[in-house]
Structure 1
Amino acid sequence: MEEDYSAVSITANLGTSIIGRRVIYFPRLPSTMVKARQEVQREAAEGTVIIAGEQLEGRGRVKRAWLSPPGNIALSVILYPPVTCLPYLVMLASIAVARSIEAVAALKPQIKWPNDILINGKKVCGILLESQVRKDRVIYAIAGIGINVSLRAADFPEIQLTATSLNEELGRKISRLALIRQLLVEMERLYLSLPESEAIYHEWESRLITLGKRVSVTSSYNMLEGIAESVDRNGALMLRQDNGRLIRIIAGDVTLREK
């Protein structure tokens, strides 16, 4: 029997006051992020969620394509936080996804800096944060989240060694509806705890699989290698190079290396 995956079923008795109060569901979209930007221009309420049953042109960090065929989760959440809270949104979203997977699928997700969710070393979720700030005021922030629920990595040769899905890890199907509802509840719980962000930072830090490991970090202009020593309160990675130099990295793609 096909699971009811409508906006009504997602919001029914959800119990949130901001995130998920309004859900806009589309069976198919090029990109939930693009649609969320359009909704911002229409002055969408904070916490509005855009969900696509199938996303055709999703993008992750560094403009990588993000596959989201039917049966997976692709959504974007519109937020208007204080500018001081902006660095914590990626942490917040990562924690919310990890907690939701634990609650619904009983798996043990880990976070690879800054915001990839892994299970058994393979990527199951990607998170993208987009924001616009003007004169120390956040015009908008959009958290895009893509979760592989039913994706068969073997069907996509370019990712079969690095990606997985919840169904593949469990060996059975889980409810997308239950996972989305849990995710919205967890996001709201964490969002409402801002600006008291210390607990968010510490939980995010404790879930990072990256720390203490030898890594390479690739950005649009260079590649650095060293030991991922720590992360600061704004989410930047502190990388200790072999020459002893400590580098602060704001963004990049991390690959775990053998020591």
Structure 2
Amino acid sequence: MMDLILPDVITSVLETRFIGQRVIHFPSHGSTMEAAKQEARQKAVEGTVVIAEEQTSGKGRAKRIWLSPKGSIALSVVLYPDVSQLSYLVMIASLAAVRSIEAVTGLQTQLKWPNDVLIKGSKVCGILIESELQGSNVAWAIIGIGINANNTMKDYPKIAAAATSLSDEMGKDVSRVAIIRCLLVEMEKLYLSVGDGEHIYQEWRGRLITLGKKVQVLSGERVLDGVAEDVSRDGSLLLRHGNNYLSRIVAGDVTLRDAG
């Protein structure tokens, strides 16, 4: 029997000040990100969470389709950060995801730049950040998180080699409610403690399996082969390639070229 992720179940013992204290639940929705944007434009209370049992038109980075069938976790969080905090949101979301997955399941996770959560090299969670500026201020920001929880990759043979789910790894279903509660608690802890962002940057950087590896980066129309040397404080990847060039990659897809 599937555990329904209903608002009163999530919030009943949720130990947060504001993130997740208001939950909007849909049995099915095209995109929790789009629903959260509508909430943000109507000045919804900060920390509002939009969640769906299944998401039919979800998008990942570069507007790719992100599958969120029943049994998975698809949620979006409305925030109103200071502009100085904006670049740290992907780090906050990534760390909240790995902390919560590890705490609830005991599984070891990895982070691949820029925002993929992996288990044993296979993707289990995707993260998307969208925001809107008004002048030099942030009007709103949305953290979207999709986790393959109790949906099996056996149903999707085309992506089974590159993706996994928590239940596939555990050999049994996990409590989606427990993961969501833990995720929201960890997200709020990180968000409220961001300060100058140094500790968040260092923890995120330390979790990245990408650094020091030979990689291929697809960024826009460019394909670059090199070594992922470091990441900057704004989250950009520093790629050493060609005749010892160092390029800053703001957005792109990374493929690891070796296992070392």
TM-score (norm 1): 0.97
Secondary structure of the structure 1 residue equivalent to 2:67: strand
Partner of 1:140: 140
Partner of 1:207: 207
- Structure 1 runs not aligned, ≥5 long: none
Partner of 2:39: 39
How far apart are the structure 2 equivalents of 1:24 and 1:95? 24
How far apart are the structure 1 equivalents of 2:221 and 2:134? 26
Partner of 1:48: 48
Partner of 1:88: 88
How far apart are the structure 2 equivalents of 1:181 and 1:246? 41
How far apart are the structure 2 equivalents of 1:18 and 1:136? 25
How far apart are the structure 1 equivalents of 2:151 and 2:175? 14
Aligned residues: 259
> Per-residue deviation at 1:4?
4.2
> Per-residue deviation at 1:28?
0.4
> Per-residue deviation at 1:227?
0.2
How far apart are the structure 2 equivalents of 1:82 and 1:18? 17
> Per-residue deviation at 1:219?
2.1
1:1-259 matched pairs, under 5 angstroms: 1-258=1-258
How far apart are the structure 2 equivalents of 1:243 and 1:220? 21
> Per-residue deviation at 1:150?
1.8
Deviations 1:130-173 (A, max 9, x none): 01112210011001000001222222122111000011111111
How far apart are the structure 1 equivalents of 2:237 and 2:36? 29
Deviations 1:161-216 (A, max 9, x none): 10000111111111000000000000000000022311100000000010000111
- Structure 2 runs not aligned, ≥5 long: none
Secondary structure of the structure 2 residue equivalent to 1:68: coil
CA contact (8 A) 1:151 1:164 kept: no
Q: Match for 1:170: what amino acid?
A: M
TM-score (norm 2): 0.97
CA contact (8 A) 1:47 1:79 kept: yes
Deviations 1:200-242 (A, max 9, x none): 0000000001000011111222111100000011100000003
Q: Match for 1:174: what amino acid?
A: V
Tell me which moved more, 243-252 or 213-222.
213-222
CA contact (8 A) 2:236 2:250 kept: yes
